[in-house]
Amino acid sequence: MPWAFQAEGLVKRYGKTTALAGIELAAEQGSVLGVLGPNGAGKTTAVRILATLLRPDAGRATVGGFDVVRDAAKVRRLIGLTGQYASVDEDLTGTQNLVLIGQLLDLRTPDAKARAVELLAGFGLSEAAGKQVKTYSGGMRRRLDLAASLVGRPEVIYLDEPTTGLDPAKREDVWSMVRSLADDGVTVLLTTQYLEEADALADTISVIDHGKVIANGTPGELKRVVGGQTVLIRPADPADLVTASAIAGAVADRQVESPARGVLTVPVDGDAAFTEIVRRLAQERIAVTELSLRLPSLDEVFFTLTGHHTQQEAA
Ligand SMILES: Nc1ncnc2c1ncn2[C@@H]1O[C@H](COP(=O)(O)OP(=O)(O)OP(=O)(O)O)[C@@H](O)[C@H]1O
Ligand SMILES: [Mg+2]
């Protein structure tokens, strides 16, 4: 498979800040690359370079074989970008926004209108099509943003933190859109601060920190390094902590930790261990106020990979 895009040794400095320190990113055609990193890691900067909106100080990047600096116009014809911050016009309606973008992309007006109708329907926005965007909810805006980036039927699409700030149901909507784009053969670069999201969507994940890739691989490979799922138990009665800890430790056959008072966590290899822990807690009649199976947070991923917390946690 040829690379849909490829960035090699990208460096970008803003005064004394090195936003990118020689980053390498690549995705095969039709795949989803997840770029996972905390605030300030360099995600948006990398996306802007790949989108021809920013020139790198060093290194090179190509999209569809075209250089993002020398062949910027050709690159722009291949890509769609949904920015981290809304890019649509608040005073226009959903339809007007999409038609305007279509016209900017040189579509004939009837074609731009037809494309707008099709996209608004696809994103569940037909009813809101004639309303001004300033009346939209955050989730509707995000969907309109995504629709806007698809007007020109891009081969490669960049989604910069497309679900930040969305509630879980809206997040699921965006996830299914990303999946259907990938099914249609579109190559997706998705930046996120959630391992869960990268795990759910990406074929490969590049974890970045301070403008460098610090880990790279399939979600499975990454989880083998940073640890898979964790069971979290909060007994209703703190007197049950000892028994609950013994159960969790015995089932998981791993060290049980207590990251906060009254809370136990233990790494597990799969759902079966979780089910067994639940069964044994019930058997011992231990009531819980919290019981969950989750992937490590970005901060936990960072701590495993780098030995330090993400800056926002440290701050
Ligand atoms: N226009 C700019 N001028 C000066 N510094 C900048 C500029 N844009 C980004 N930076 C700095 O470059 C670094 C990388 O920023 P970038 O926006 O790429 O990070 P990010 O991973 O997208 O973060 P976030 O998750 O908060 O969106 C940060 O230290 C940021 O402060
Ligand atoms: Mg950003």
Our mutation pick for probing the ligand 1 site, out of 18, 20, 44, 302, counting the most ligand atoms within 8 A of Cβ, is 44
Residue 290 has what pLDDT? 94
299 occurs within a structural domain: no
105 exposure class (CB count in 10 Å sphere: 0-12, 13-18, 19+): middle
54 and 172 housed in the same domain: yes
Check residue 81 and give its pLDDT: 78
- Stretch 107-132: mean pLDDT, rounded? 94
Please tell me the distance from the alpha carbon of residue 261 to that of residue 278, in angstroms, as a whole number: 20
Check whether residue 192 and residue 121 sit in a common domain: yes
Residues 53 and 104 in one domain: yes
Assess whether 65 and 149 both reside in one domain: yes
Cβ–ligand 1 contact at 19 (below 6 Å): yes
What is the C-alpha separation between 31 and 16, in angstroms, rounded? 35
Tell how far the Cα of 193 is from the centroid of ligand 1, in angstroms: 14
Same domain, 264 and 138: no
* φ, ψ (nearest 5 deg) of residue 306: -120, -15
Q: State the pLDDT at residue 270.
A: 78
208 ligand 1 Cβ < 6 A: no
Co-location of 31 and 79 in the same domain: yes
Which atom belonging to ligand 1 lies closest to the Cα atom of 211? 14
pLDDT in tens, 142-193: 889 888 988 988 999 999 998 887 778 778 888 888 998 899 899 999 999 9
Residue at 165 is within a domain: yes
**Centroid of ligand 2 to alpha carbon of 55 (angstroms):** 17
Same domain, 195 and 239: no
**How confident is the model at residue 86, as a pLDDT?**
55
How close is the Cα of 254 to the center of ligand 2, in Å? 37
- For residue 22, the tally of other CB atoms under 10 A from its CB is 14
**Distances from the Cα of 15 to the Cαs of 12, 19, 54, 57, in angstroms?**
10, 10, 15, 12
Q: Say if 303 falls within a structural domain.
A: no
pLDDT tens sequence across 272-281: 999 999 999 9
Of residues 196 and 238, more confidently modeled: 238
- Looking only at the bridges linking them, the beta strands covering 212-217 and 204-209 are antiparallel
Do 280 and 218 share a structural domain? Answer: no
* Residue pLDDT, tens place only, 32-88: 999 999 999 999 999 999 999 999 999 999 999 999 999 999 998 899 877 655 578
Tell me: do 119 and 263 sit in the same domain: no
Q: Is 311 in the pocket of ligand 1 (CB under 6 A)?
A: no
From the CB of 139, is ligand 1 less than 6 Å away?
no
Atom number of ligand 1 nearest to Cα 38: 25
- What is the sign of the dihedral through the CA atoms of 186, 139, 190 and 169? negative
Residue 116 in this model has a pLDDT that exceeds 80: yes
Q: What is the CATH number of the domain that holds 26?
A: 3.40.50.300
- CATH number, position 284: 3.30.70
Q: Is residue 308 part of a domain?
A: no
302 occurs within a structural domain: no
Check whether residue 197 and residue 233 sit in a common domain: no
Final residue belonging to a domain, choices 160, 190, 222: 222
Number of structural domains (the chain) is 2
Mean pLDDT in residue range 117-126: 91
**pLDDT for the residue 315:** 47
Q: Is residue 184 part of a domain?
A: yes
Average confidence (pLDDT) over 134-143: 88
Helix 138-150, helix 109-122: angle, nearest 10: 140
Q: Residue 310: CB within 6 Å of ligand 1?
A: no
* 312 ligand 1 Cβ < 6 A: no
Do 57 and 15 have their domain in common? Answer: yes
User: Quick check: is 309 in a domain?
Assistant: no
Which ligand 1 atom lies nearest to the CA of residue 42? 18
Please check whether residues 29 and 47 belong to one and the same domain: yes
Domain boundary among 197, 222, 247: 222
User: In this structure, is residue 313 part of a structural domain?
Assistant: no
Domain that holds residue 72: 3-222
* pLDDT at 304 (0 to 100): 78
pLDDT by residue (tens digit) across 194-232?
Answer: 888 998 999 999 999 999 999 999 988 888 777 778 899
Euclidean distance between CA atoms 236 and 50, whole angstroms? 50
Burial 108-123 (b: 16+ CB within 10 A, else e): eeeebbebbeebbeeb
- Examine the fold and report which residue of 201, 222, 243 is the final residue of a domain before the chain moves on: 222
pLDDT at 21: 98
